[in-house]
Amino acid sequence: MSALFSLAGQVALITGATRGIGLAIAREYGRAGARLALSSENADDCRQVVAALAEEGIVACAVPADLSQQSEVEGLARALLAQFGRIDVLVCNAGVAPHMGPLASASAAQWELTMTVNLRSAVWLTNALLPTMAEQGGGSVVLMASIAGVRGNQGLGLYGLSKAALAQLARNLAVEWGPRNVRVNAISPGVIHTEFARPLTDNPAVMDKRLALTPLRRVGVPEEVAALALLLAAPGGAFITGQNLVVDGGTTIGDGN
- The model's pLDDT over 176-229, given as tens digits with 9 standing for 90+, comes to 999 999 999 999 999 898 777 777 777 777 788 888 889 999 999 999 999 999
Q: Using DSSP, state whether 242 is helix, strand or coil.
A: coil
Q: What percent of the chain has pLDDT over 70?
A: 99
Decide if 178 contacts 197 (C-beta within 8 A): no
Average pLDDT, the chain: 95
Among residues 5, 29, 124, 159, the one annotated as catalytic is 159
Q: Can you name the residues that pair with 37 across neighbouring β-strands?
A: 13, 61
Asked if the 3-192+221-247 domain carries CATH number 3.40.50.720, the reply is yes
Question: Coil, strand or helix: which one is 11?
Answer: strand
Q: Cβ distance 134 to 177 under 8 Å?
A: yes
pTM of the model: 0.95
Domain ranges of the chain: 3-192+221-247
Is 29 known to be catalytic?
no
Q: What is the pLDDT of residues 79-115, one digit of tens each?
A: 999 999 999 999 999 999 999 999 999 999 999 999 9
pLDDT band at 50 (very low <50, low <70, confident <90, very high): very high
Say what percent of the chain tops pLDDT 90.
Answer: 87
∠ Cα 4 233 32 (to 5°): 60
> What distance in Å separates the CA atoms of residue 58 and residue 50, rounded to the nearest whole number?
8
How many angstroms separate the CA atoms of 95 and 174, rounded?
21
How many angstroms separate the CA atoms of 243 and 257, rounded?
A: 28
Lowest-pLDDT choice from 31-35, 153-157, 228-232: 153-157
Asked which of 117-126, 127-136, 140-149, 246-255 is least confident by mean pLDDT, the reply is: 246-255
pLDDT for res 257: 65
Going by C-beta distance under 8 Å and a sequence separation of 6 or more, which residues neighbour residue 173?
126, 130, 141, 182, 184
Burial 141-159 (b: 16+ CB within 10 A, else e): bbbbbbbbbbeebebbbbb
Please give the Cα distance from 150 to 136 (Å, whole number): 34
- Predicted confidence at residue 28, as pLDDT, reads 98
